[in-house]
Amino acid sequence: MDLHEILEVTVTGLGYQLVDVEQSPRGRVLRLFIDQPEKPGGVDIEDCALVSNHLSRVLLVENIDYERLEVSSPGIDRLLKKEADFERFAGSEVTVRLRLPINGRRNFSGVLRGVQDHRVRVQIDSGEMEFDLDNIDKTRLVPHFDVKKSGDRLV
């Protein structure tokens, strides 16, 4: 098994979803982003510690050489990579950066409408656009914060 397979099998076996894996140029730092869609509020520090401790032992047994392992949540501006991500977050505001431009543009913002036939649909100001999943370099959720006011001050 290669490293990505080991990580995927281990993380999913613990009941989490492997969102993304980053490696430093020489593979010395392994950075994993995990999620648990069914859990209200997403993953927390205890989840990250559990996965980190378990993976440390698995990587030792599998003789994977690394210096540091980091496990965290994908954050509120999480990357969308898999087709399932684009379906799960349909209706959310996103930013999309393409590998190859369409009509001279590589960056788009709008509301994600989902994915069908390997094409991501996004509602932008001028109408609905479709992007081939293979042409997407990066898609991120746009975080929204509820700011409540009490009189003239923020609370």
Structural domains present in the chain: 3-72 (3.30.300.20), 83-141 (2.30.30.100)
Least confidently predicted of 60-74, 116-130, 137-151: 137-151
What is the structure's pLDDT at 93? 97
In the predicted structure, residue 17 carries a pLDDT above the cut 90:
yes
The tens digit of pLDDT for each residue in 62-101 reads 998 889 999 999 988 999 999 999 999 999 999 999 999 9
In the predicted structure, residue 41 carries a pLDDT above the cut 60:
yes
C-alpha to C-alpha distance for 85 and 74, rounded to whole angstroms: 12
Q: Is 135 exposed, middle or buried (0-12, 13-18, 19+ CB in 10 A)?
A: middle
Q: CB neighbours of 151 closer than 8 A, spacing ≥ 6?
A: none
